[in-house]
A and B are shown apart, each in its own frame.
Chain A
Amino acid sequence: MNALLEIRGLSKRIPSARESSGERVLLHKIDAVIREPESIAIMGGSGQGKSTLLRILACLDSADEGDMYVRGASCSSMEPAKWRSQVCYVAQHAVMLPGSVEDNLRTVSRLHGTVYEQPLAERLMKQSGLDHIPMKGPAGDLSGGEKQRLALIRSLMLRPAVLLLDEVTASLDAISGRLVEDILLEWHREEGAALVWVTHHADQASRAASRIWTLKDGTLTDSELSCESGISDETAGSVRER
């Protein structure tokens, strides 16, 4: 059976004035597999390439070498729009599209010419505590936390197989952050979508993920995480450095 998402030999170099060669290896021949819908946390110190890896996986940035596969189909042989419909990236800072709250929720159906799933949108809005906001009001007027939750619901309307979450709770207060976490974990359980979180918080990784990918010096270390064992010392150390 094909893996849900597979990364093979992914490398990325970035320009660097500090290196004599003028560039730095950010990711070096990374291999990783998500075999079934599971929740994975990506951790590591600043500048280790966590967000870059996520953007490459979302087909928003390109790798210098390697390829990625979703359910056995390679990214390089697939239309980028088709790839992104299955592997959806959610940015740290939510961007509201011009128009109303409802316009934002309808984006996916508008782009793909599909039926707007109103009951799903209403259920998610209620779960996220956004059922009080006027649907016809401008999305740009919402608070930061509300925008982030709306952006998340907008992505969930796509029903992607893999959700790439780039520090989606970093700019939220504790309560909103937990709310977002709960929505995503419920979605993961109910809809069977894989979650890949970039996070700096060890406690969030313990709560939300079953595995941890640690990025350090261009390499990725994959480690299992059980509820009892918590985060390994090495991984936590790389987080504490911050």
Chain B
Amino acid sequence: MQASSKSFLLSILFTAGLSCLTIIALNAYVDPWRFFHDSGLAHWDSDGRQQNPGIIRQRAFNVAVIGTSMTQNFRPEELQQLFGGQAAVLSISAGTGREQALTAGLALQQQTLDTLVWGVHPGSFILPAQEVKGNAFPGYLYDNHWLNDIYYLFNISNIEKALKDWRGALRSLSARQDVTGQSWQNLQYWGDKYQYGCPDIMALQMSRRGLPAVSDDFRVADEQIVSNVSENLLATVQAHPGTQFKLFFPPFSELYWALLAERQPLRYAAYRRLMREVVIQLTPEPNVELFDFTALQGVVDNLQNYKDLIHFSPQISSQLLRMMQAGEFRVTDAQLGTVGHFPHLMKGAAINMAVSECLQAPAEG
């Protein structure tokens, strides 16, 4: 009995050991997210959570963009033109405050950044300070513990990507040049994938998320907002005094704010509270410039600029960059009372009218 168990154990250990070594070797060689080296076999990918650490480790830049989908349309070439040097867009679609702070932290640790542009989406920073997107966030890519690298080397999704990338590279002889020549700077750009304007906004809103639903069960404690801003924004800023931080509140459409205020008053209040907290904690910092574009007239009041109620077109992204460079709409602590304050917000019938007008608006040629 002992003898058969011995051969069984040897078999299982040999099989598992050999398989593990093969997988580790494949993953380390292909390195699908370019974590260890600038692998010529790996394709750049638009998944910011996974790909940003690879960009940060394998490319050199002095200007970075952090944020959510609101900042994915910033063009590196424009950033380079305005701020000089080389730029990287390191946004994370629907990124939490913690995820953004970890990305910023890694970029600041690995690179010498002169300027960091950070789009502060209120929804990201009202969450618990340490919240990340569950298992979708690969925390092991954001630390320097070599033991955690096993999660990278032993990840089934990474193996799949490695095999896919490898197959892609083998498929044609020129693939190697194609892969290495692939741009890493506009990976997340979605500006040309959507239509903008009323009919498209409503079609998209209705088919995907709909208008903000009526809900009054949203509770977020003040302490949560304070700690999120403090742990994720303030701590990052204070740890890197040599970098200039350009923080901004994105220009959501006026209709979105109105709907939020009417249908989800508690979330609306939390967003406003968050914006005030950012002003209180960040504006005293010497290396911070804070911009508030939430009331940017000509943009927020014109739905032709949007693909849904919050996502604006690439032209607006360019406009925001220019305004930040010119110092327009900059907020100081003296303006605390005006931030997150929307005195002329539509109410009741006006909202309904705006929605129905939008629904009936003809498509623009």
The answer to whether A and B come from one shared complex is no
